[in-house]
Structure 1
Amino acid sequence: MDSDTAIIAFGALAQTTRLDTFRLLVRHEPGGIAAGEIARLLNVPQNTMSAHLGVLARAGLVRSERHSRSIVYRADLDGVRALMLFLVKDCCAGNADLRAPLLAELTPCC
């Protein structure tokens, strides 16, 4: 990941509704949530939610797939992992003992 991509991702999360949406999607992994249900749970108009989901998708933080007449959104955990690793890539002056606990937290659990 490069700096420009990271800035876009952080910019996408730098808004309350989008941050709440992203956190909701992370909680509902791996099944995801339909767009209309996300809007209902967060009490946001559907057209507004659609715009927010578009910003998160373009930033590489969420992905979607069509299920019949619904679009189901999921957190893009690979994109999030890349963003977090970008932040800590040069951590601790290369000291593996200091860096290991942080990287262990970012290791896939499932």
Structure 2
Amino acid sequence: MQESAAIAALAALAQTMRLRVFRALIGAGPDGMTPSALGVLLDVPASTLSFHLKELMHAGLVTQERDGRNLIYRAAMAQMNALLDYLTAHCCEGAATACATTAPPDCGTTCR
């Protein structure tokens, strides 16, 4: 992942409603959710939701697919995983396998 893509993704998630939308889509899994279902779940007006979905799509964190008359939004799991990989790439000076075995990683003692 490029640094600019990581910054865009983190900026998109650095807003309460967008983080809630993204987490709801993560919870929905591969089935995704329609905007109306998301709106009901999160108690957010359609216009507000549309704005936040657009921002998440721009950051590559959400995909949109038309299914007949409905739009289905899904979390872009590959992009989320790429962001997590980017953030942890230098964990414990590159010893990612050592860090993966601790929760949370203690780079000061466990991984060196």
TM-score bin (small chain):
0.7 to 0.9
The 1:16–1:93 alpha-carbon spacing in structure 2 relative to 1, beyond 3 Å, is same
**Residues 29-86 of structure 1, C-alpha deviation per residue, up to 9 Å, x if partnerless?**
0100001111111111101101100000110111010011110101000000000000
Alignment partner of 1:101 is 2:101: yes
Highest relative contact order (Cα 8 Å, sep 6+), 1 or 2?
A: 1
* 1:23 positional shift: 0.4
Structure 2 match to 1:40: 40
Deviates more, 1:75-84 or 1:87-96: 87-96
Give the 3-state SS of the residue equivalent to 2:41 in structure 1.
Answer: helix
2:3 corresponds to 1:13: no
Q: Deviations over 1:11-42 (max 9, x none)?
A: 10111110000000000101000011111111
Q: Which moved more, 1:85-94 or 1:72-81?
A: 85-94
- Say which SS state the counterpart of residue 29 (structure 2) adopts: coil
Q: Percent of counterpart pairs with the same letter?
A: 42
Count of aligned positions = 102
Structure 2, unaligned runs of 5 or more: 103-112
Q: CA, structure 1 residues 48+98, in 2 after alignment: closer, same or farther (shift >3 Å)?
A: same
Query: Aligned partners of 2:96 and 2:18: how far apart in 1?
Result: 34
Distance 1:52 1:2 in 2: 23
The structural deviation recorded for 1:101 is 3.0
Alignment-derived partner of residue 55 in structure 2 = 55
C-alpha distance in 2 between matches for 1:82 and 1:97 = 16
Structure 1: tracts of 5 or more residues without a match:
103-110
Name 2:29's counterpart in structure 1. 29
In the alignment, the residues of structure 1 paired with residue 59 and residue 20 of structure 2 have an alpha-carbon distance, to the nearest angstrom, of 15
The alpha carbon displacement at 1:96 in A equals 5.0
Question: Larger Cα Rg: Structure 1 or Structure 2?
Answer: 2
